[in-house]
Amino acid sequence: MFQSLSALPADPILGLMATYRADTNPKKIDLGIGVYKDESGHTPVMTAIKKAEDILLNSQTTKTYVGPTGAAEYNDAVGLLILGQSLYNSLGKRRVTVQAPGGCGGLRLAAELIKKANSDATVWVSSPTWANHIPLLGSAGLKIAEYPYYDYATHSVRFEEMLACLSQVPVGDVVLLHGCCHNPCGADLSQEQWQQIRDVALKQGFTVFIDLAYQGLGDGLDEDVYGLRLMAEALPELIVVTSCSKNFGLYRERTGALTMICETPEAASIATTQIAAAARAMYSMPPDHGAVLVQMILNNASLRHEWNKELTEMRNRINSLRAQFVKKLQSIGVEQDFSFIEREKGMFSFLGVNVDQVQSLVKDYSIYLVNSSRINVAGINDDNIDYLATSLAAVLKK
Ligand code: LMR
């Protein structure tokens, strides 16, 4: 039977990670997959996670099943983190949060629910969007369309075109927005732009879907959910998928969630039964370990303080790397203007070079980045910034 299968190319992001690992060049630089790296190029386990793991090791008394919607304490803690206390209170039982196997698992759950609610729905994604959005949502059988988002020439959001496109999206369709730290371009919406999108969503009646994978890595834990809270306050319905991969450094533990805000508590309760059935049919129940650590940290003042401090250091490091990289390129005489990198948010920015130039960086200099020219800024450090800047300068001159 399996003779009929044909081989597929490697995933554009995960494949790059494998090639980087196999490269023996001591000067190699990994600007590919979106993982946080410290000054030594290491992706550490956060201190608060280590401490919570120590406590858990000595206190956990059972590993019995949890259930398809995951742990209630985790679900509440995540709901509170994204919404803040007052919105969390006012939404009450109109809001339901369900633990999921990472952000990807949450996206897939959301896709299943959208499909059940309206099998005809089109999901509108930004152009460009995260490389896995279209395969992931598409493989659930949803139709996908794109709205204009990033202007490669001006390195900013094509907001007028985006708004014009969204003004045509009908009720029954879904618009997927990046909550903060847009992946891949790093260009985020301003507060005024979020307000305008909220107004269009209210007028048109489409469903807003927010993918929030980087809360705390842009401007701050509360600042990064400005748009999400604006939507949650105003709209009758909202879908939010969150990930703890980056802001808790829990990548391989697959810790995420799907939050639904429904028009009524009854609708939310019905949606929960559908989500539970979808989870049961796909993977039965989400993995526990990461979620229990997140719950412990968010519900313990001292662990939470420690986590917040480390997250702040990570965010500040990324923001200062953005500034340093721009300065370095200027100081070695690169004529192109890269100042947009300093204005963008989160882990990613496009270098804005073409595929041949990307391939030259990869093959001639062992500098790994996605073909779109997306770089993970956190991969830059004091030891590699000179090599990176001079290699880029050389490739730009070719
Ligand atoms: C990325 O965009 O690099 C990360 O979100 C990792 C992934 O799974 O693609």
Contact 251, 219 (CB under 8 A): no
Contact 58, 296 (CB under 8 A): no
Is residue 202 in contact with ligand 1, taking CB distance under 6 Å? no
CA Rg value for the chain: 21
Domain annotation for the chain: domains and CATH numbers: 8-45+303-397 (3.90.1150.10), 65-299 (3.40.640.10)
Ligand 1 atom with the smallest distance to the CA of 243 is 5
Residue nearest atom 5 of ligand 1, based on CA coordinates: 34
CA 88 to ligand 1 centroid distance, Å: 29
Interval 135-194: pLDDT, tens: 999 999 999 999 999 999 999 999 999 999 999 999 999 999 999 999 999 999 999 999
What was the pLDDT predicted at 397? 94
Backbone CA torsion sign across 128, 131, 136, 141: positive
CA 136 to ligand 1 centroid distance, Å: 12
| Peptide linkage before 128 cis (omega within 30 of 0) | yes
Q: How far apart are CA 127 and CA 121, in angstroms?
A: 19
- The conformation of residue 189, written as its DSSP 8-state character, comes to P
CA 33 to ligand 1 centroid distance, Å: 6
Residues in the chain: 398
What was the pLDDT predicted at 134? 97
Which mutation among 132, 214, 254 tests ligand 1's pocket best, with the greatest number of atoms within 8 A of CB? 132
Ligand 1 atom with the smallest distance to the CA of 370 is 3
> What does pTM read for this prediction?
0.97
* Tokens 């793991």 found at: 53
Catalytic residue among 28, 124, 130, 288: 130
Q: Which residues in the chain land under pLDDT 50?
A: none
Q: How far apart are CA 189 and CA 377, in angstroms?
A: 20
Catalytic annotation present for 386: no
Residue nearest atom 4 of ligand 1, based on CA coordinates: 34
- Strands 29-30 and 143-148 turn out to be unpaired
Is residue 290 in contact with ligand 1, taking CB distance under 6 Å? no
Catalytic annotation present for 194: no
What was the pLDDT predicted at 398? 85
Q: What is the DSSP string of 137-176?
A: HHTTT-EEEEEE-EETTTTEE-HHHHHHHHTTPPTT-EEE
Q: How many of the other CB atoms lie within 10 Å of CB of 282?
A: 14
Is residue 132 in contact with ligand 1, taking CB distance under 6 Å? yes
Which mutation among 33, 243, 374 tests ligand 1's pocket best, with the greatest number of atoms within 8 A of CB? 33
Q: How far apart are CA 349 and CA 146, in angstroms?
A: 20
From 318, 9, 159, select the one nearest 18 (Cα to Cα). 9
Report residue 13 as tokens. 């992001």
What was the pLDDT predicted at 305? 98
Residue nearest atom 1 of ligand 1, based on CA coordinates: 34
How far is it between the farthest Cα atoms of the chain?
A: 63
Q: Is 52 left (phi over 0), alpha (psi -120 to 50) or beta?
A: alpha
CA 235 to ligand 1 centroid distance, Å: 29
Residue type, 317: R
Is residue 15 in contact with ligand 1, taking CB distance under 6 Å? no
Contact 11, 33 (CB under 8 A): no
Is residue 183 in contact with ligand 1, taking CB distance under 6 Å? yes
Catalytic annotation present for 199: no
Instruction: Spell out a b/e string for 347-357, using b for 16 or more CB atoms within 10 Å of the CB, else e.
Output: bbbbbbbeeeb
Ligand 1 atom with the smallest distance to the CA of 184 is 2
